[in-house]
Amino acid sequence: MQTKTMSPPGLPVLLLLLFFIATATAAATAAADNDAKRDDQRAPKSQSCNNPFQLVKVENWIDGVEGRIYNGVTARFGSLLPEKPENSVRTPAIFSNPVDCCSNSTSKLSGSVALCIRGGCDFTVKAEFAQAGGATGMLVINDAEDLFEMVCSNSSEANISIPVVMITKSAGEGLNNSLISGRKVEILLYAPPRPLVDFSVAFLWLMSVGTIVCASLWSDFTSPEKSDERYNELCPKESSIAETARDDFDKEIVHIDSKGAIIFVIAASTFLVLLFFFMSSWFVWVLIVLFCIGGIEGMHNCIVSLTVRKGRSCGQKTVSVPLFGETSIFSLVVLLFCVTFAVFWAATRQESYSWIGQDILGICLMITVLQLARLPNIKVATVLLCCAFVYDIFWVFISPVIFHESVMIAVARGDKAGGEAIPMLLRFPRLFDPWGGYDMIGFGDILFPGLLVSFAHRFDKDNGRGASNGYFLWLVIGYGIGLVFTYLGLYLMNGNGQPALLYLVPCTLGVTVILGCIRGELKNLWNYGTDPSLSTEHSEV
Protein backbone atom coordinates (compact mmCIF):
# COMPACT_ATOMS: atom_id res chain seq x y z
CA MET A 1 0.00 0.00 0.00
CA GLN A 2 1.34 3.44 -0.90
CA THR A 3 1.77 6.09 1.78
CA LYS A 4 0.34 9.48 0.82
CA THR A 5 0.73 13.04 1.98
CA MET A 6 -2.48 14.93 2.71
CA SER A 7 -3.70 16.40 -0.56
CA PRO A 8 -7.39 16.93 -1.29
CA PRO A 9 -8.96 15.82 -4.58
CA GLY A 10 -9.17 18.50 -7.25
CA LEU A 11 -6.06 20.35 -6.07
CA PRO A 12 -5.13 21.74 -9.53
CA VAL A 13 -8.69 22.97 -10.12
CA LEU A 14 -8.81 24.73 -6.74
CA LEU A 15 -5.44 26.44 -6.98
CA LEU A 16 -5.92 27.44 -10.60
CA LEU A 17 -9.30 28.89 -9.62
CA LEU A 18 -7.48 30.98 -7.01
CA PHE A 19 -4.95 31.96 -9.69
CA PHE A 20 -7.87 33.15 -11.82
CA ILE A 21 -9.45 35.14 -8.95
CA ALA A 22 -6.12 36.65 -7.93
CA THR A 23 -5.27 37.88 -11.41
CA ALA A 24 -8.82 39.08 -12.06
CA THR A 25 -9.08 41.12 -8.89
CA ALA A 26 -5.64 42.44 -8.13
CA ALA A 27 -3.37 41.93 -11.10
CA ALA A 28 -2.74 45.59 -11.74
CA THR A 29 -2.77 47.17 -8.38
CA ALA A 30 0.78 47.50 -7.24
CA ALA A 31 -0.57 50.64 -5.65
CA ALA A 32 -0.19 52.10 -2.24
CA ASP A 33 -3.14 52.46 0.11
CA ASN A 34 -5.25 55.47 -0.78
CA ASP A 35 -6.76 57.34 2.12
CA ALA A 36 -9.44 59.25 0.26
CA LYS A 37 -12.00 58.55 -2.41
CA ARG A 38 -11.45 60.71 -5.44
CA ASP A 39 -14.11 62.46 -7.48
CA ASP A 40 -11.78 64.76 -9.32
CA GLN A 41 -11.71 63.45 -12.89
CA ARG A 42 -14.60 65.53 -14.25
CA ALA A 43 -14.71 68.29 -11.62
CA PRO A 44 -14.28 71.84 -12.96
CA LYS A 45 -11.11 73.67 -11.96
CA SER A 46 -10.21 77.33 -11.73
CA GLN A 47 -7.29 79.33 -10.41
CA SER A 48 -8.76 79.37 -6.91
CA CYS A 49 -9.96 75.76 -7.07
CA ASN A 50 -6.85 73.86 -8.06
CA ASN A 51 -5.09 73.17 -4.76
CA PRO A 52 -3.27 69.87 -4.25
CA PHE A 53 -5.07 67.58 -1.82
CA GLN A 54 -3.36 67.33 1.56
CA LEU A 55 -3.79 64.56 4.10
CA VAL A 56 -4.40 66.27 7.43
CA LYS A 57 -3.73 65.44 11.08
CA VAL A 58 -6.55 66.73 13.27
CA GLU A 59 -5.29 66.99 16.84
CA ASN A 60 -7.83 67.88 19.51
CA TRP A 61 -7.91 68.72 23.20
CA ILE A 62 -10.93 68.17 25.49
CA ASP A 63 -10.84 70.61 28.41
CA GLY A 64 -7.09 70.86 27.92
CA VAL A 65 -6.54 67.07 27.80
CA GLU A 66 -5.14 65.78 24.53
CA GLY A 67 -7.55 63.45 22.74
CA ARG A 68 -7.33 61.08 19.82
CA ILE A 69 -5.72 62.31 16.61
CA TYR A 70 -8.03 62.05 13.60
CA ASN A 71 -7.18 62.05 9.90
CA GLY A 72 -8.68 64.30 7.26
CA VAL A 73 -8.15 65.61 3.73
CA THR A 74 -8.21 69.16 2.42
CA ALA A 75 -10.38 70.50 -0.41
CA ARG A 76 -9.39 71.73 -3.84
CA PHE A 77 -10.14 75.23 -2.57
CA GLY A 78 -9.23 77.23 0.53
CA SER A 79 -5.84 77.83 2.12
CA LEU A 80 -3.17 75.20 2.50
CA LEU A 81 -2.10 73.90 5.90
CA PRO A 82 1.43 73.96 7.37
CA GLU A 83 3.45 70.76 7.42
CA LYS A 84 4.48 70.99 11.09
CA PRO A 85 2.21 71.35 14.15
CA GLU A 86 4.33 74.15 15.61
CA ASN A 87 3.45 76.31 12.59
CA SER A 88 -0.29 75.89 13.18
CA VAL A 89 -2.60 77.47 15.77
CA ARG A 90 -4.69 75.69 18.42
CA THR A 91 -8.26 76.96 17.91
CA PRO A 92 -11.62 76.33 19.64
CA ALA A 93 -14.16 74.23 17.72
CA ILE A 94 -17.90 74.86 17.54
CA PHE A 95 -20.84 73.46 15.60
CA SER A 96 -22.46 75.80 13.13
CA ASN A 97 -26.18 76.45 13.40
CA PRO A 98 -27.58 75.19 11.06
CA VAL A 99 -25.24 72.20 11.20
CA ASP A 100 -25.01 71.85 7.42
CA CYS A 101 -23.51 75.38 7.09
CA CYS A 102 -25.81 76.12 4.16
CA SER A 103 -26.89 79.51 5.55
CA ASN A 104 -25.59 82.16 7.90
CA SER A 105 -24.83 80.66 11.30
CA THR A 106 -26.58 81.86 14.42
CA SER A 107 -23.67 80.42 16.44
CA LYS A 108 -20.71 82.70 17.02
CA LEU A 109 -17.99 81.29 14.75
CA SER A 110 -15.48 84.15 15.04
CA GLY A 111 -12.02 82.82 15.91
CA SER A 112 -13.19 79.19 15.87
CA VAL A 113 -13.09 76.14 13.62
CA ALA A 114 -16.62 75.54 12.31
CA LEU A 115 -17.96 71.97 12.34
CA CYS A 116 -20.45 71.12 9.57
CA ILE A 117 -22.09 67.95 8.34
CA ARG A 118 -21.95 66.88 4.72
CA GLY A 119 -24.98 67.49 2.50
CA GLY A 120 -27.53 70.22 1.91
CA CYS A 121 -25.45 72.39 -0.42
CA ASP A 122 -22.12 72.57 -2.25
CA PHE A 123 -18.86 72.45 -0.30
CA THR A 124 -17.90 75.91 -1.54
CA VAL A 125 -21.21 77.34 -0.28
CA LYS A 126 -20.57 75.88 3.18
CA ALA A 127 -17.08 77.38 3.24
CA GLU A 128 -18.36 80.82 2.17
CA PHE A 129 -20.91 80.94 5.01
CA ALA A 130 -18.34 79.70 7.55
CA GLN A 131 -15.81 82.28 6.37
CA ALA A 132 -18.43 85.03 6.47
CA GLY A 133 -19.15 84.10 10.09
CA GLY A 134 -15.49 84.67 11.02
CA ALA A 135 -14.41 81.01 11.26
CA THR A 136 -10.68 80.35 10.96
CA GLY A 137 -11.29 76.97 9.37
CA MET A 138 -14.00 74.42 8.60
CA LEU A 139 -14.28 70.69 9.29
CA VAL A 140 -16.82 68.85 7.13
CA ILE A 141 -18.03 65.62 8.76
CA ASN A 142 -18.57 62.89 6.17
CA ASP A 143 -21.60 60.61 6.31
CA ALA A 144 -19.43 57.48 5.95
CA GLU A 145 -16.21 55.98 7.28
CA ASP A 146 -13.99 57.24 4.51
CA LEU A 147 -12.60 60.52 3.27
CA PHE A 148 -13.94 62.27 0.18
CA GLU A 149 -11.85 64.79 -1.71
CA MET A 150 -13.95 67.95 -1.96
CA VAL A 151 -13.97 69.77 -5.30
CA CYS A 152 -15.75 72.79 -6.78
CA SER A 153 -19.17 72.29 -8.31
CA ASN A 154 -18.66 74.85 -11.10
CA SER A 155 -15.84 76.68 -12.81
CA SER A 156 -16.41 80.00 -11.07
CA GLU A 157 -13.82 81.40 -8.68
CA ALA A 158 -14.07 80.14 -5.10
CA ASN A 159 -12.95 83.01 -2.87
CA ILE A 160 -12.17 80.89 0.16
CA SER A 161 -9.20 81.88 2.33
CA ILE A 162 -9.69 79.46 5.25
CA PRO A 163 -8.62 75.78 5.32
CA VAL A 164 -11.43 73.31 4.57
CA VAL A 165 -10.96 69.74 5.76
CA MET A 166 -13.13 66.63 5.60
CA ILE A 167 -13.10 64.11 8.48
CA THR A 168 -14.82 60.74 8.86
CA LYS A 169 -18.20 60.13 10.44
CA SER A 170 -16.70 58.53 13.57
CA ALA A 171 -14.29 61.44 14.05
CA GLY A 172 -17.19 63.89 13.86
CA GLU A 173 -19.20 61.85 16.37
CA GLY A 174 -16.26 61.88 18.77
CA LEU A 175 -15.99 65.68 18.62
CA ASN A 176 -19.77 66.07 18.82
CA ASN A 177 -20.01 63.94 21.98
CA SER A 178 -17.52 66.21 23.70
CA LEU A 179 -19.25 69.41 22.59
CA ILE A 180 -22.79 68.39 23.60
CA SER A 181 -21.52 67.48 27.08
CA GLY A 182 -20.44 71.09 27.52
CA ARG A 183 -16.70 70.53 27.37
CA LYS A 184 -14.27 72.82 25.57
CA VAL A 185 -12.86 71.36 22.36
CA GLU A 186 -9.75 72.80 20.69
CA ILE A 187 -8.46 71.83 17.26
CA LEU A 188 -5.01 72.00 15.65
CA LEU A 189 -4.64 71.23 11.93
CA TYR A 190 -1.45 70.39 10.03
CA ALA A 191 -0.49 68.31 6.99
CA PRO A 192 2.77 66.33 7.31
CA PRO A 193 3.96 65.22 3.86
CA ARG A 194 4.44 61.61 2.89
CA PRO A 195 8.03 60.53 2.20
CA LEU A 196 8.85 60.19 -1.48
CA VAL A 197 10.09 56.63 -0.91
CA ASP A 198 9.38 54.34 2.03
CA PHE A 199 11.62 51.39 2.84
CA SER A 200 8.56 49.13 2.69
CA VAL A 201 8.95 49.17 -1.09
CA ALA A 202 12.36 47.49 -0.76
CA PHE A 203 10.89 44.68 1.38
CA LEU A 204 7.99 44.25 -1.04
CA TRP A 205 10.49 44.09 -3.91
CA LEU A 206 12.45 41.37 -2.10
CA MET A 207 9.30 39.35 -1.40
CA SER A 208 8.12 39.54 -5.01
CA VAL A 209 11.47 38.66 -6.58
CA GLY A 210 12.14 36.04 -3.90
CA THR A 211 8.79 34.34 -4.54
CA ILE A 212 9.50 33.99 -8.26
CA VAL A 213 13.04 32.72 -7.66
CA CYS A 214 11.90 30.20 -5.04
CA ALA A 215 9.04 28.96 -7.23
CA SER A 216 11.38 28.52 -10.21
CA LEU A 217 14.04 26.70 -8.19
CA TRP A 218 11.60 24.71 -6.05
CA SER A 219 12.20 21.47 -7.94
CA ASP A 220 15.92 21.85 -7.26
CA PHE A 221 15.21 22.27 -3.54
CA THR A 222 12.86 19.30 -3.26
CA SER A 223 13.93 16.70 -5.84
CA PRO A 224 16.39 13.95 -4.83
CA GLU A 225 20.04 14.66 -5.53
CA LYS A 226 22.23 12.25 -7.43
CA SER A 227 24.35 11.74 -4.32
CA ASP A 228 21.27 10.29 -2.60
CA GLU A 229 20.65 7.53 -5.13
CA ARG A 230 22.73 4.98 -3.22
CA TYR A 231 20.93 5.86 0.02
CA ASN A 232 17.54 5.45 -1.67
CA GLU A 233 18.57 2.00 -2.90
CA LEU A 234 19.44 1.00 0.64
CA CYS A 235 16.36 2.65 2.22
CA PRO A 236 13.55 2.36 -0.34
CA LYS A 237 10.77 2.58 2.25
CA GLU A 238 11.95 5.92 3.58
CA SER A 239 12.17 7.44 0.11
CA SER A 240 8.83 6.04 -1.09
CA ILE A 241 6.77 8.85 0.48
CA ALA A 242 8.67 11.60 -1.33
CA GLU A 243 8.64 9.63 -4.60
CA THR A 244 4.90 8.90 -4.36
CA ALA A 245 4.10 12.54 -3.58
CA ARG A 246 6.32 13.57 -6.47
CA ASP A 247 4.59 11.22 -8.91
CA ASP A 248 1.15 12.42 -7.78
CA PHE A 249 2.21 16.03 -8.19
CA ASP A 250 3.58 15.38 -11.70
CA LYS A 251 0.15 14.11 -12.76
CA GLU A 252 -1.49 17.34 -11.57
CA ILE A 253 0.60 19.73 -13.68
CA VAL A 254 -1.45 21.87 -16.09
CA HIS A 255 0.16 23.05 -19.34
CA ILE A 256 -1.31 26.31 -20.61
CA ASP A 257 -1.90 26.67 -24.36
CA SER A 258 -2.56 29.75 -26.52
CA LYS A 259 -6.31 29.24 -26.70
CA GLY A 260 -6.54 28.76 -22.95
CA ALA A 261 -4.51 31.94 -22.37
CA ILE A 262 -6.91 34.05 -24.45
CA ILE A 263 -10.00 32.50 -22.85
CA PHE A 264 -8.48 33.06 -19.41
CA VAL A 265 -7.98 36.80 -19.92
CA ILE A 266 -11.48 37.25 -21.42
CA ALA A 267 -13.03 35.37 -18.50
CA ALA A 268 -10.96 37.38 -16.03
CA SER A 269 -12.28 40.62 -17.55
CA THR A 270 -15.86 39.38 -17.25
CA PHE A 271 -15.31 38.36 -13.64
CA LEU A 272 -13.73 41.73 -12.87
CA VAL A 273 -16.76 43.63 -14.20
CA LEU A 274 -19.11 41.44 -12.17
CA LEU A 275 -17.05 42.17 -9.07
CA PHE A 276 -17.16 45.89 -9.84
CA PHE A 277 -20.95 45.96 -9.98
CA PHE A 278 -21.83 43.33 -7.39
CA MET A 279 -18.98 43.53 -4.89
CA SER A 280 -20.16 43.19 -1.28
CA SER A 281 -18.76 42.16 2.09
CA TRP A 282 -20.18 38.62 1.78
CA PHE A 283 -18.49 38.15 -1.58
CA VAL A 284 -15.16 39.27 -0.15
CA TRP A 285 -15.73 36.72 2.60
CA VAL A 286 -16.03 34.04 -0.10
CA LEU A 287 -12.67 35.18 -1.48
CA ILE A 288 -11.18 35.12 2.02
CA VAL A 289 -12.35 31.53 2.53
CA LEU A 290 -10.98 30.47 -0.86
CA PHE A 291 -7.71 32.24 -0.10
CA CYS A 292 -7.44 30.41 3.23
CA ILE A 293 -8.10 27.03 1.59
CA GLY A 294 -5.52 27.69 -1.13
CA GLY A 295 -3.05 29.11 1.40
CA ILE A 296 -3.44 26.01 3.58
CA GLU A 297 -2.74 23.68 0.67
CA GLY A 298 0.16 25.81 -0.55
CA MET A 299 1.72 26.08 2.91
CA HIS A 300 1.23 22.34 3.51
CA ASN A 301 2.83 21.48 0.18
CA CYS A 302 5.84 23.75 0.82
CA ILE A 303 6.50 22.47 4.35
CA VAL A 304 6.04 18.77 3.55
CA SER A 305 8.04 18.79 0.31
CA LEU A 306 10.99 20.57 1.95
CA THR A 307 10.92 18.57 5.16
CA VAL A 308 10.58 15.15 3.52
CA ARG A 309 13.46 16.05 1.19
CA LYS A 310 15.79 17.13 4.02
CA GLY A 311 14.63 14.77 6.74
CA ARG A 312 14.39 11.22 5.41
CA SER A 313 13.01 9.84 8.68
CA CYS A 314 9.92 12.06 8.47
CA GLY A 315 6.72 10.39 7.37
CA GLN A 316 7.55 6.79 8.21
CA LYS A 317 4.65 6.46 10.67
CA THR A 318 1.25 6.41 9.03
CA VAL A 319 -2.43 6.43 9.90
CA SER A 320 -5.54 5.56 7.89
CA VAL A 321 -7.61 8.65 7.01
CA PRO A 322 -11.00 8.52 5.23
CA LEU A 323 -10.82 9.64 1.58
CA PHE A 324 -7.01 9.81 1.74
CA GLY A 325 -6.16 6.23 2.71
CA GLU A 326 -2.84 5.45 4.39
CA THR A 327 -1.40 8.88 5.24
CA SER A 328 1.77 10.08 6.90
CA ILE A 329 1.22 11.27 10.48
CA PHE A 330 3.75 14.02 9.86
CA SER A 331 1.72 15.25 6.87
CA LEU A 332 -1.44 15.22 8.97
CA VAL A 333 0.22 17.24 11.77
CA VAL A 334 1.49 19.79 9.24
CA LEU A 335 -2.02 20.09 7.78
CA LEU A 336 -3.49 20.79 11.23
CA PHE A 337 -0.81 23.44 11.82
CA CYS A 338 -1.59 25.09 8.46
CA VAL A 339 -5.33 25.11 9.16
CA THR A 340 -4.72 26.70 12.58
CA PHE A 341 -2.44 29.31 11.01
CA ALA A 342 -5.01 30.26 8.33
CA VAL A 343 -7.90 30.39 10.82
CA PHE A 344 -5.87 32.62 13.13
CA TRP A 345 -5.06 34.96 10.24
CA ALA A 346 -8.74 35.13 9.19
CA ALA A 347 -9.81 35.90 12.77
CA THR A 348 -7.19 38.64 13.21
CA ARG A 349 -7.07 40.00 9.65
CA GLN A 350 -8.00 43.51 10.85
CA GLU A 351 -5.05 43.68 13.26
CA SER A 352 -1.89 45.62 12.45
CA TYR A 353 0.20 42.43 12.27
CA SER A 354 -2.15 40.49 9.97
CA TRP A 355 -0.04 41.33 6.92
CA ILE A 356 2.56 38.78 8.09
CA GLY A 357 0.13 35.85 7.93
CA GLN A 358 -1.38 37.08 4.67
CA ASP A 359 2.04 37.31 3.03
CA ILE A 360 3.12 33.85 4.26
CA LEU A 361 -0.07 32.20 3.01
CA GLY A 362 0.09 34.14 -0.26
CA ILE A 363 3.72 33.30 -0.99
CA CYS A 364 3.16 29.59 -0.30
CA LEU A 365 0.05 29.67 -2.50
CA MET A 366 1.91 31.31 -5.41
CA ILE A 367 4.87 28.92 -5.16
CA THR A 368 2.47 25.97 -5.39
CA VAL A 369 0.46 27.49 -8.26
CA LEU A 370 3.67 28.07 -10.22
CA GLN A 371 4.46 24.38 -9.77
CA LEU A 372 1.05 23.37 -11.14
CA ALA A 373 0.74 25.77 -14.10
CA ARG A 374 3.38 25.76 -16.83
CA LEU A 375 4.06 27.56 -20.07
CA PRO A 376 5.35 25.15 -22.76
CA ASN A 377 7.16 27.76 -24.87
CA ILE A 378 7.56 31.45 -25.67
CA LYS A 379 4.72 31.35 -28.18
CA VAL A 380 2.17 30.68 -25.43
CA ALA A 381 4.00 33.06 -23.08
CA THR A 382 3.70 35.84 -25.68
CA VAL A 383 -0.03 35.28 -26.10
CA LEU A 384 -0.68 35.15 -22.35
CA LEU A 385 1.51 38.08 -21.31
CA CYS A 386 0.45 40.33 -24.19
CA CYS A 387 -3.22 39.70 -23.37
CA ALA A 388 -2.49 40.37 -19.69
CA PHE A 389 -0.56 43.52 -20.69
CA VAL A 390 -3.59 44.92 -22.55
CA TYR A 391 -5.97 43.69 -19.83
CA ASP A 392 -4.02 45.49 -17.10
CA ILE A 393 -3.73 48.80 -18.95
CA PHE A 394 -7.37 48.80 -20.05
CA TRP A 395 -8.89 48.12 -16.61
CA VAL A 396 -6.64 50.62 -14.84
CA PHE A 397 -6.25 53.53 -17.28
CA ILE A 398 -8.98 53.21 -19.92
CA SER A 399 -11.92 51.87 -17.89
CA PRO A 400 -12.53 55.28 -16.19
CA VAL A 401 -13.68 56.59 -19.57
CA ILE A 402 -16.50 54.01 -19.59
CA PHE A 403 -17.19 53.41 -15.89
CA HIS A 404 -16.13 56.85 -14.55
CA GLU A 405 -13.51 55.23 -12.28
CA SER A 406 -10.76 52.67 -12.57
CA VAL A 407 -12.45 49.28 -12.34
CA MET A 408 -9.29 47.41 -11.33
CA ILE A 409 -8.39 49.83 -8.54
CA ALA A 410 -11.96 50.06 -7.25
CA VAL A 411 -12.23 46.27 -7.00
CA ALA A 412 -8.79 45.73 -5.47
CA ARG A 413 -9.43 48.52 -2.95
CA GLY A 414 -12.80 47.00 -2.02
CA ASP A 415 -14.80 50.25 -2.16
CA LYS A 416 -18.14 48.39 -1.94
CA ALA A 417 -17.02 45.66 0.44
CA GLY A 418 -17.94 47.32 3.73
CA GLY A 419 -14.36 47.74 4.92
CA GLU A 420 -13.25 44.22 3.95
CA ALA A 421 -10.19 44.02 1.71
CA ILE A 422 -9.47 41.45 -0.99
CA PRO A 423 -6.65 39.21 0.32
CA MET A 424 -5.05 38.33 -3.04
CA LEU A 425 -2.07 40.64 -2.63
CA LEU A 426 1.18 41.00 -0.71
CA ARG A 427 1.34 43.87 1.78
CA PHE A 428 4.07 45.56 3.78
CA PRO A 429 3.50 48.44 6.22
CA ARG A 430 4.99 51.87 5.56
CA LEU A 431 7.43 52.06 8.43
CA PHE A 432 8.50 55.70 8.07
CA ASP A 433 5.27 57.23 6.79
CA PRO A 434 3.45 59.43 9.33
CA TRP A 435 0.21 58.28 7.72
CA GLY A 436 0.94 54.59 8.02
CA GLY A 437 -0.83 52.33 5.55
CA TYR A 438 0.68 49.68 3.29
CA ASP A 439 2.44 49.29 -0.01
CA MET A 440 1.10 46.31 -1.91
CA ILE A 441 1.33 44.25 -5.05
CA GLY A 442 -1.30 41.94 -6.54
CA PHE A 443 -0.68 38.23 -6.94
CA GLY A 444 -1.16 38.53 -10.70
CA ASP A 445 1.86 40.82 -10.95
CA ILE A 446 3.93 37.93 -9.58
CA LEU A 447 2.15 34.94 -11.16
CA PHE A 448 2.07 36.14 -14.78
CA PRO A 449 5.81 36.97 -15.05
CA GLY A 450 6.57 34.03 -12.74
CA LEU A 451 5.22 31.58 -15.33
CA LEU A 452 7.72 32.92 -17.87
CA VAL A 453 10.64 32.95 -15.40
CA SER A 454 9.85 29.35 -14.39
CA PHE A 455 9.85 28.33 -18.06
CA ALA A 456 13.23 30.02 -18.52
CA HIS A 457 14.67 28.00 -15.63
CA ARG A 458 13.37 24.72 -17.08
CA PHE A 459 14.73 25.65 -20.52
CA ASP A 460 18.16 26.42 -19.09
CA LYS A 461 18.17 23.22 -17.03
CA ASP A 462 17.06 20.98 -19.90
CA ASN A 463 19.66 22.47 -22.24
CA GLY A 464 22.54 22.62 -19.76
CA ARG A 465 22.73 26.41 -19.68
CA GLY A 466 24.68 28.30 -17.04
CA ALA A 467 23.80 31.60 -15.40
CA SER A 468 25.48 33.82 -17.99
CA ASN A 469 24.47 32.03 -21.20
CA GLY A 470 20.99 31.08 -19.98
CA TYR A 471 17.76 33.08 -19.64
CA PHE A 472 16.67 32.59 -16.03
CA LEU A 473 19.10 35.03 -14.38
CA TRP A 474 18.44 37.75 -16.96
CA LEU A 475 14.67 37.42 -16.54
CA VAL A 476 14.94 37.66 -12.76
CA ILE A 477 17.01 40.84 -13.19
CA GLY A 478 14.47 42.14 -15.73
CA TYR A 479 11.59 41.43 -13.35
CA GLY A 480 13.36 43.27 -10.54
CA ILE A 481 13.99 46.28 -12.79
CA GLY A 482 10.35 46.20 -13.93
CA LEU A 483 9.20 46.42 -10.30
CA VAL A 484 11.47 49.43 -9.79
CA PHE A 485 9.84 51.11 -12.80
CA THR A 486 6.41 50.23 -11.40
CA TYR A 487 7.01 51.98 -8.10
CA LEU A 488 8.76 54.88 -9.80
CA GLY A 489 5.58 55.36 -11.86
CA LEU A 490 3.50 55.03 -8.69
CA TYR A 491 5.33 57.89 -7.01
CA LEU A 492 5.49 60.07 -10.12
CA MET A 493 1.71 59.74 -10.43
CA ASN A 494 1.15 60.77 -6.81
CA GLY A 495 0.21 57.35 -5.49
CA ASN A 496 -2.40 56.53 -8.14
CA GLY A 497 -2.64 52.81 -8.88
CA GLN A 498 -0.37 51.54 -11.63
CA PRO A 499 -0.83 48.63 -14.06
CA ALA A 500 2.33 46.81 -13.01
CA LEU A 501 2.30 44.54 -16.08
CA LEU A 502 2.81 47.67 -18.18
CA TYR A 503 6.38 47.63 -16.87
CA LEU A 504 6.87 43.93 -16.03
CA VAL A 505 5.92 42.42 -19.40
CA PRO A 506 8.48 44.43 -21.46
CA CYS A 507 11.15 43.75 -18.82
CA THR A 508 10.60 39.98 -18.90
CA LEU A 509 9.05 38.90 -22.19
CA GLY A 510 10.89 41.70 -24.00
CA VAL A 511 14.23 40.58 -22.52
CA THR A 512 13.53 36.98 -23.57
CA VAL A 513 12.77 37.96 -27.18
CA ILE A 514 15.79 40.25 -27.43
CA LEU A 515 18.19 37.65 -25.99
CA GLY A 516 16.67 34.97 -28.23
CA CYS A 517 17.21 37.14 -31.31
CA ILE A 518 20.79 38.01 -30.35
CA ARG A 519 21.65 34.36 -29.70
CA GLY A 520 19.75 33.06 -32.73
CA GLU A 521 17.53 30.89 -30.53
CA LEU A 522 14.17 32.59 -30.93
CA LYS A 523 12.79 29.79 -33.14
CA ASN A 524 13.84 27.22 -30.55
CA LEU A 525 12.18 29.19 -27.75
CA TRP A 526 9.06 29.83 -29.83
CA ASN A 527 8.41 26.19 -30.75
CA TYR A 528 9.94 24.58 -27.67
CA GLY A 529 8.16 21.39 -26.65
CA THR A 530 6.28 21.02 -29.95
CA ASP A 531 9.17 19.86 -32.17
CA PRO A 532 11.19 16.91 -30.77
CA SER A 533 14.27 18.16 -32.57
CA LEU A 534 14.10 21.45 -30.66
CA SER A 535 13.26 20.12 -27.23
CA THR A 536 14.89 17.88 -24.70
CA GLU A 537 12.29 18.59 -22.06
CA HIS A 538 11.46 15.73 -19.73
CA SER A 539 9.07 15.42 -16.84
CA GLU A 540 10.71 17.27 -13.97
CA VAL A 541 8.93 19.34 -11.34
Residues 259 and 297 in one domain: yes
Residues 303 and 157 in one domain: no
Dist CA 76 CA 459 (whole Å):
55
Residues 204 and 177 in one domain: no
pLDDT on residue 416: 65
| Domain presence at residue 4 | no
pLDDT on residue 459: 94
| Domain presence at residue 162 | yes
Residues 139 and 260 in one domain: no
Residues 269 and 158 in one domain: no
Residues 410 and 290 in one domain: yes
Is residue 28 within 8 A of residue 445, CB to CB? The reply is yes
Residues 399 and 326 in one domain: yes
User: How many independent structural domains does the chain possess?
Assistant: 2
Residues 428 and 508 in one domain: yes
| Domain presence at residue 535 | no
Compute the CA torsion angle 266, 271, 276, 281 (nearest 10 deg). -160
| Domain presence at residue 459 | yes
**Active-site position among 35, 198, 359, 392:** 392
Dist CA 177 CA 164 (whole Å):
22
| Domain presence at residue 347 | yes
* 439 counts as catalytic: no
Report how far apart the first and last C-alpha atoms of the chain are (Å, whole number). Answer: 24
The domain boundary, picked from 167, 190, 213, lies at 190
| Domain presence at residue 378 | yes
Residues 178 and 257 in one domain: no
pLDDT on residue 40: 52
**Could you tell me which residues come within 8 angstroms of residue 67 by beta carbon, excluding any fewer than 6 positions away?**
60, 61, 174, 178
Dist CA 174 CA 451 (whole Å):
50
pLDDT on residue 226: 44
> Mean pLDDT for each 10-residue chunk of the chain (541 residues)?
47 55 49 49 65 91 91 92 92 92 90 92 92 94 87 75 93 90 91 82 94 92 55 45 51 79 83 81 83 90 83 65 72 91 94 93 92 90 92 87 82 67 86 84 90 94 87 96 89 75 94 93 87 46 32
| Domain presence at residue 241 | no
Residues 304 and 443 in one domain: yes
* 445 counts as catalytic: yes
Residues 258 and 360 in one domain: yes
Domain of 163: which CATH number?
A: 3.50.30.30
| Domain presence at residue 503 | yes
Residues 218 and 285 in one domain: yes
Tally DSSP H helices, then E strands, for the chain.
Answer: 17, 14
Domain interval for residue 344 = 199-223+248-311+318-527
pLDDT on residue 538: 40
pLDDT on residue 238: 44
Nearest to 73 by CA among 117, 139, 128, 129: 139
